[in-house]
Structure 1
Amino acid sequence: MISLKNDSIGKLLWDFSMPAIVGMLVNALYNIISRIFVGRGVGSIAIAAVTVALPVMTLMMAITMLIGVGATALISIRMGEKKMDEVEKIAGNATALLVILPFLLSLVYFLFADPILMLFGSSPEVLPYAKEYVHVIMLGAIPGAIAFGVNNFIRAEGNPRFAMETQIIGAVINIICNYVYIFIFNWGIAGSAWAAVTGQTISAIWVLSYFLLGRSKIKLKLSNFKIETPIVLKTLTIGFAPFAMQIANTIQQTILNQTLSRHGGDIALSAVGILMSVSMLLLMPIVGVSQGAQPIIGYNYGARNYDRVKEALKKAIIAGTAMATFGYILLLLFAVPVVELFSKGDTALTELTVHALLTFMAVMPVVGFQIIGSSYFQAVGKPIQSTFLSLSRQVLFFIPLLLILPRYLGIEGVWITAPIADVLAILVTGTFLFYEIKKQRKLALATDIQS
């Protein structure tokens, strides 16, 4: 059994991060494969439709992360404090919210689908494909939220392997169903959406079985599903940072799609759809490290083991940076053949996408520091710092640059926005962490004196 208190930090980081990394990679891989199937089975306009759908899906992810990630951080801290009754109340309240909020968001979407998709950058040609895709995706909003949100609780209680299995099961089913629904059943772009919903539904059943069949330390009891305002407010406060980041991503994607449509047309939307899939595959291992480090940092922070907190942060940053550097080398070597998997012989789309990808990801080797640095503050229950750092790249830098640079540089201004925003966000995160580490030293010294 894993001990967050006594096992070595290196071992814990490996035990928690590797399952998260594998799960993240599998999910990113299924996104790539589904986009390849869409591009080859339907056409490049369908990739543009999925790109338009991305802000809607990001909004759904924002709601899921608001509850799931916020509750998970709080669960880790309360488990470190040995408050299991409160842990189960947090889990019950969060599960109830993971049903209610996605339902409400889906209702709003179905009432205003056309104006929403047009706002998110759809052209008249792309709109029918986007509607066909998103309508199905929103039908699976609740099982998708449960599959992601509740799965985090499993990781928090010390079973990262099962959490990884959940992600792998959903992704594998999604990949298989994508092929069957598109190429055998000829369901077109709707087939890709139905594949996602099928994978999410089975993942949700798998996650709930873990709790309902007695395998978990945390028990999901109906009595804890009754909403308690203090618990919800604390969960929302801690989860606000990733929620705000996803909302900022939605705004960013909306402005990005509109800018691309204006300066590059539907081919530029298709290029960004491919770019997002490939960049997700490269960045997901870093996110996996940050997820793996979170319960280690949160538990030891709650237990006031500040030296272990610092060690976990340091090793997570080193691991994240190494993975980012390796991913960037792979990008330089294989950008063209990877993009050609999507473009189906479209030379113009291939050339545009490869140039965009290499420019967009130009400072990738140091991006891991920013991702893990901002997630640290979330893990220790400091939502203000975490929110500010999570939003710094999108709100402070990326969106303003995106509104300014393309006016003077055209489509090239879109591509160079990302590396500039990354560098500025890294500098801000480094400043915050510098002062936080100084504070941690004082807390560790005070703890040693008291003991």
Structure 2
Amino acid sequence: METQNNFAIGSIPKHIMSIAGPMIIAQLINVLYNVIDRIYIGRIPHVATLAMGGLGICLPIISIVMAFANLFGMGGSPLCSIARGQGKNDDAEEIMGNSFSLLVIFGIILTIVGFIFKEDILWAFGASKHTISYALDYLSIYLIGTIFVLVSLGMNSFINSQGFAKVGMMTVLIGAILNIILDPLFIFVLHMNVKGAAIATVISQGISALWTLQFLTGKQTILKLRKKYFKLNFYYVKRIFSLGTAGFMMGITNSVVTIVCNSTLQTYGGDLYIAIMTIINSIREIAQLPGQGMANACQPVLGYNYGAKEYKRVLTGIKFVTIVSFIMMFVIWLAITLFPEFFIQIFTHNQKIISHGITSLHLYFFGFFMMTFQMVGQSTAVGLGKSKQAIFFSIFRKVIIVAPLTIILPKFIGINGVFIAEAISNFIGGGACYITMWLTIGRKLQQKCKEEAVCIPQH
């Protein structure tokens, strides 16, 4: 099995695609956990718009929970890939054990803090007197499953990093199928509405977490989750935090932007536009998956080859994933631009939301394909263990560009400014991220190729 998943031999594109296919499917299924909730909630009789708005207020909190899964999953798994490429499997297992302990500890902390401050947080995040009850109903139950989210998402990264992308896909497939079955049962048959959606999600995520742990403690895995490595080692904890901060900041900045958007939309457009943004976010989560999946799939391959000092293969991988990701993202952008009503109707049949949402969707997704460069630039930095660059890439687009523009533009051009802010960031953020990656990481890889008398691929 170790030989089978040796990324330092064989075709780089083949290795990346063998991971990317199952990973994209897995990430799509993972997104469906929350998106399916929104599809069903959007069809609750009489209260769909307010219920959708209430769920939209919860999205920043869900992003924060996922950010902590990224902190320890994306922080530990690239380090495992590098260590495995160096032949240091014991070190890799200790990194994985420490990551698991951190996921459990922070899962408990987030659950406690969430229950204590949930109502205050929801008001601060843009709730209104009409949506607060729906937001509280959903969040109160969702928080119970916080530890399940962290373990299933965080530890699944260690399955993928070893090359077991199909197993990683099964982790989320099992939970998603359960969610699809349980959502209509709890929401419509048992008449639990928003609470029912949350219960279905918690049960599904719990099963996903159990599946993940079963595999990582079983016989098929290369790196095994062992109790002796649960004790925190400060050296590894520091490295996990350092590298994982990039993925963490990506989740946190998404949360910050959603909070700013919700507050601005409440001021200029009310609950209707919060519901529209909730739908647009749902479409974006699905639309970005092919590009993000390709970018994430290259991380274990790049990290392994970097650890094995195969720098030419690392450069080949970066170029391949850039081209393929861009093509996929461009096709998706074209489909959304040409058929906006089709995508909105997946979530609602409310004509008012559809008519206002089409314009908002066009503005928000303008230049969406430029996000390719943000994804590849950041994933390359994470995969090679370059924490400083990865953190910068995470913060730049959302915090420095999107959030300020979301506040400023509506003062001059009204509600459309909220959606245009995202479009502007796609060009500036994506371009700056990728150029910076090539000027820093790319140049160093090329220099190492020269030093080892390796032919550098043209670009």
Identify unmatched segments of 5+ residues in structure 1. none
Task: Output the amino acid matched with 1:188.
Answer: N
The CA distance in 2 between the partners of 1:80 and 1:365, in whole Å, is: 33
The CA distance in 2 between the partners of 1:2 and 1:101, in whole Å, is: 31
Counterparts of 1:183-262 in structure 2 under 5 Å? Answer: 183-262=188-267
Task: Output the amino acid matched with 1:119.
Answer: A
Query: SS at the partner of 2:427?
Result: helix
2:186 aligned with 1:181? yes
Identify unmatched segments of 5+ residues in structure 2. 455-459
Counterparts of 1:43-442 in structure 2 under 5 Å? Answer: 43-344=48-349, 346-435=350-439, 436-442=441-447
What do you get for the CA RMSD once the two structures are aligned? 1.3
The CA distance in 2 between the partners of 1:433 and 1:154, in whole Å, is: 27
**How much has 1:307 moved relative to structure 2?**
0.6
**How much has 1:330 moved relative to structure 2?**
1.7
Q: Is the 8 A contact 2:69 2:153 kept in 1?
A: yes
Task: Output the amino acid matched with 1:294.
Answer: Q
The CA distance in 1 between the partners of 2:5 and 2:75, in whole Å, is: 23
The CA distance in 1 between the partners of 2:53 and 2:370, in whole Å, is: 30
The CA distance in 2 between the partners of 1:15 and 1:2, in whole Å, is: 11
Query: SS at the partner of 1:216?
Result: coil
Query: SS at the partner of 2:232?
Result: coil
Query: SS at the partner of 1:343?
Result: coil
The CA distance in 2 between the partners of 1:132 and 1:210, in whole Å, is: 34
| Identity value in percent | 31
Pick from 39, 62, 81: which aligns with 1:36? Answer: 39
The CA distance in 2 between the partners of 1:404 and 1:332, in whole Å, is: 26
The CA distance in 1 between the partners of 2:32 and 2:63, in whole Å, is: 18
For 1:296-321, what per-residue CA distance to the aligned partner results, in whole angstroms no more than 9, with x for missing partners? 01111111101100011111111110
For 1:216-246, what per-residue CA distance to the aligned partner results, in whole angstroms no more than 9, with x for missing partners? 1111111110111111010000001111121
The CA distance in 2 between the partners of 1:62 and 1:107, in whole Å, is: 17
Q: Is the 8 A contact 2:371 2:426 kept in 1?
A: yes
The CA distance in 1 between the partners of 2:208 and 2:31, in whole Å, is: 16
The CA distance in 2 between the partners of 1:181 and 1:259, in whole Å, is: 33
For 1:189-242, what per-residue CA distance to the aligned partner results, in whole angstroms no more than 9, with x for missing partners? 011111111111110111111122322111111111011111101000000111
How many residues of Structure 1 are paired with residues of Structure 2 in the alignment? 448
TM-score between both structures, scaled by the size of structure 2: 0.95
Task: Output the amino acid matched with 1:33.
Answer: I
For 1:301-346, what per-residue CA distance to the aligned partner results, in whole angstroms no more than 9, with x for missing partners? 11110110001111111111011011112212332022123223x2
The CA distance in 2 between the partners of 1:296 and 1:448, in whole Å, is: 22
Structure 1 residues 85 and 282: alpha-carbon distance in aligned structure 2, compared to 1, 3 A threshold = same
Q: Is the 8 A contact 1:30 1:172 kept in 2?
A: no
Q: Is the 8 A contact 2:72 2:102 kept in 1?
A: yes
For 1:377-429, what per-residue CA distance to the aligned partner results, in whole angstroms no more than 9, with x for missing partners? 11111111111011111011111111211111110111110111111112211
The CA distance in 2 between the partners of 1:199 and 1:120, in whole Å, is: 27
Match of 2:457 in 1: none
Task: Output the amino acid matched with 2:394.
Answer: S
